[in-house]
Structure 1
Amino acid sequence: MDILLNILTTILDQLQKPTLAFLIAGMMLAALGSKFEVPDPVYKFIVILLLLKVGLGAGIAVKSADPLALVVPALLAAAVGIAIVLLGSVTLARWKGVTPVDGMATAGLFGAVSASTLAAGMAVLDSEGVAYEGFIGALYPFMDIAALVTAIVLAKVAQARRAAQSVQGGTLTMGGSGPKLERGLIGGILTDTFRSPAISALLAGLGIGILADPASVFDSFYEPLFRGLLSILMLIMGMEAWARLSELRKVAHAYVLYGVAAPLMHGMIGLGAGLIAHHLTGFSQGGVVLLAVMAASSSDISGPPTLRGALPEANPSAYVGTSTGLGTPVAILSIPLWIALSGLVMA
């Protein structure tokens, strides 16, 4: 009974958080036939500011970390982000009725990191007196960017293949030039992805944060504006989500199952990666737990605007609803599980 009460309390708390509250408000506006709209240039400006802020914050965190101690956990964090997206590409994205672009966008959010869930994990460890590395906050951009770029590239590859099939009457030419064409296709998509406004803004902010000293403009301009701009973005995405909600009626069960099961599976991947870092570098138990927490979490800040900018055809009802509505509560509730498991295997 206590477990059910905790689950319900966590879900209610999430409904009151700005991310989900503004998303629901946008859906209600659309349902009531409101004429509310944000001009497209204003929307694009908001997205660029949001992603520059995320990149700058990540760069500042990376620069302040110990480079030698950071290398192995950072590489493992990036590998976890990629692994989560690849797992989603062979599960959710191949579910009957789920479009590949919606499946990959959802997997991308689950591969990326929720800063609020990470903060909750740190708070739990602090209350339990479990120590962790000070550079943990610098790990999330490695997992975040790796997951989002992988999801965007795989979604665009799937779209290109489907377009080629339709042009060629449902069959792909697989002669001697096939692999060469495939390499050219993936190379072109990678180039387009890194040149896209969303990823470019994220990487530009990351580079400036690492190589320059943007703390003053970050604290005085980007940080105060961030939450307000994010709320407007979620309002827009809520209206889009309502308009496309009917697309999910036949496959809603797929997203529900993924939203509940994925954080637990992903957390186990993160836990395994943390144990590898422990054996290679002496990574602490708290670090192992927080790597599992990051893997179990799903992005509520950097992910939505990145995917909205890079994959505008993806359905926000699918990826934001599944991530924030289901994935985040499960990820937060699973934090004690990672503490217990890490204690067992590292005792």
Structure 2
Amino acid sequence: MDIVMTIATTVVEQLQKPTLAFLIAGMLLASLGSKFEVPEPVYKFIVILLLLKVGMGAGISVREADLMSLLVPALGAGVVGILIVLIGSRTLVRLRGVSELDGLATVGLFGAVSASTLAAGMAVLDDQQLYYEGFIGALYPFMDIAALVTAIVLAKLAQARKATAIQSVGGTGGAALAGGPAGGVGGSAPIGGMDKGLLGGILTDTFRSPAISALVIGLALGMFSQPDSVYKSFYEPLFRGLLSVLMLIMGMEAWSRLSELRKVAHAYVLYALTAPLVHGLLGFGAGLVAHHFTGFSAGGVVLLSIMAASSSDISGPPTMRGALPEANSSAYVGASTGLGTPVAILSIPVWIALAEMVIGF
């Protein structure tokens, strides 16, 4: 009972902090039908600045970090990303009313990382002056890419199996229906041939996405140049103010996306409400392993939990649209942005309270 009260008290306290309060305010504005809006170019500019800040901060820290201290949590982040997709392929994908393709696209986004949620978590820890490793931002691509690649490969294999089944039943007619050799799944081309270059294409598309590109270039600048002065004089002072505006936008976006979930099975709603908490526990477990072997901080465990609980809202959707154009975006974007992101951000106090009880700050 004491544990529940501790977590509940922490949650209530955190909801009053600027980061979470702006998210709730955005949802309230949208629910009241407010015409308030931030122009799309301004939104993109804010996101790019935040990601450059996170990337540079991580790069500066990586320069001074012990390789093993970075390697263990990075490996844990990648494993968690893959596990989230594999678990989702055995849960959401098998629920009634969920197609295999739409389900895998959804779990791929939930396995990937929300840069804005990670930035929100950092801001919350900074406000409370809780220490975490500066290289945390460098863990983002490990979990993000691992999840997206795993989900897309599983979806492509599912499409290939379906096309092969149609072909075997319908003969040449089935091959024509499936697209035949020109479609890359039938005819003389083996299924293994269909996947040739698939991984490279997914990685290329992912790294070319605005979010990953900004994060990676920021990471490279931090590691291989000396951006410390501009980082401290420009990016750090702007960080919290820009993040508050982003949270306001995300709150309004989340509320508007809820309507998209009416078009798909209720299973997506159930998944979006519960998955962030389950995934956060996976991230917490990976963080505890890193804490045991490398002394990974309690703040680092919290941020790894937040990364796992989050669902991609910037880099993931464009990647899914490009790799799986047949998937229903109302399902995977509605579940991710509409419910998954608010749940993940509002669960930040839970991971802080849990880390305080298990590890201590």
Establish whether TM, by shorter chain, passes 0.5.
Answer: yes
**Deviations 1:261-289 (CA, angstroms, capped at 9, x unpaired):** 333333223323444x3xxxxx44xx375
CA contact under 8 A between 1:270 and 1:292: conserved in structure 2?
A: yes
1:26 is aligned to 2:26: yes
**TM-score, reference length from structure 2:** 0.73
**Deviations 1:120-139 (CA, angstroms, capped at 9, x unpaired):** 9984xx9xxxxxxxxx6144
CA contact under 8 A between 1:197 and 1:309: conserved in structure 2?
A: no
- SS of residue in 2 equivalent to 1:334: helix
Letter in structure 2 aligned against 1:212: S
* Match of residue 104 from structure 1: 108
* Match of residue 285 from structure 2: 268
- SS of residue in 2 equivalent to 1:298: helix
CA shift for structure 1 position 309: 6.8
CA contact under 8 A between 1:101 and 1:158: conserved in structure 2?
A: no
CA shift for structure 1 position 52: 0.8
Q: Measured at CA, do residues 29 and 332 of structure 1 come closer, stay the same or move farther in structure 2, by a change above 3 Å?
A: same
Letter in structure 2 aligned against 1:234: M
CA shift for structure 1 position 311: 6.1
1:168 is aligned to 2:181: no
CA contact under 8 A between 1:105 and 1:319: conserved in structure 2?
A: no
| Alignment partners' CA distance in 1, 2:311 and 2:338 | 17
CA contact under 8 A between 1:117 and 1:331: conserved in structure 2?
A: no
**TM-score, reference length from structure 1:** 0.76
- SS of residue in 2 equivalent to 1:244: helix
Letter in structure 1 aligned against 2:207: F
CA contact under 8 A between 2:27 and 2:251: conserved in structure 1?
A: yes
1:85 is aligned to 2:81: yes
1:295 is aligned to 2:304: yes
1:254 is aligned to 2:256: no
* Match of residue 201 from structure 2: 188
1:208 is aligned to 2:221: yes
Number of residue pairs the alignment of both structures matches: 315
**Deviations 1:235-262 (CA, angstroms, capped at 9, x unpaired):** 2222221122241754433334333333
| Alignment partners' CA distance in 1, 2:25 and 2:248 | 6
Q: 2:239 aligns with which of 221, 226, 233?
A: 226
CA contact under 8 A between 2:287 and 2:305: conserved in structure 1?
A: yes
1:331 is aligned to 2:351: yes
CA shift for structure 1 position 156: 4.7
CA shift for structure 1 position 14: 2.8
Letter in structure 2 aligned against 1:20: L
**Deviations 1:277-329 (CA, angstroms, capped at 9, x unpaired):** 3xxxxx44xx3756544433337999655557756853312331231123x23
CA contact under 8 A between 2:276 and 2:340: conserved in structure 1?
A: no
CA contact under 8 A between 1:84 and 1:110: conserved in structure 2?
A: no
CA shift for structure 1 position 209: 0.8
**Deviations 1:129-183 (CA, angstroms, capped at 9, x unpaired):** xxxxxxx6144133222112223434555666688869838x9836643223213
- SS of residue in 1 equivalent to 2:250: helix
Deviates more, 1:96-105 or 1:152-161: 152-161
Note the residue ranges of structure 1 that are not aligned, 5 or more in a row.
127-135, 278-282, 341-347
Q: Measured at CA, do residues 325 and 310 of structure 1 come closer, stay the same or move farther in structure 2, by a change above 3 Å?
A: farther
CA shift for structure 1 position 9: 1.3
Letter in structure 2 aligned against 1:242: W
Q: 2:250 aligns with which of 234, 237, 241?
A: 237
Q: Equivalences for 1:16-95 in 2 at 5 Å?
A: 16-63=16-63, 65-66=64-65, 70-92=66-88, 94-95=91-92
CA contact under 8 A between 2:298 and 2:356: conserved in structure 1?
A: no
Q: 1:178 aligns with which of 191, 197, 210?
A: 191
Deviates more, 1:103-112 or 1:225-234: 103-112
% identity of equivalent residues? 38
Letter in structure 2 aligned against 1:60: I
| Alignment partners' CA distance in 1, 2:278 and 2:32 | 34
Q: Measured at CA, do residues 103 and 62 of structure 1 come closer, stay the same or move farther in structure 2, by a change above 3 Å?
A: same
Q: Equivalences for 1:110-129 in 2 at 5 Å?
A: 114-115=121-122, 123=130
CA contact under 8 A between 1:102 and 1:319: conserved in structure 2?
A: no
CA shift for structure 1 position 73: 2.5
Note the residue ranges of structure 2 that are not aligned, 5 or more in a row.
164-176, 322-328
- SS of residue in 2 equivalent to 1:109: coil
* Match of residue 338 from structure 2: 317
| Alignment partners' CA distance in 1, 2:87 and 2:158 | 19
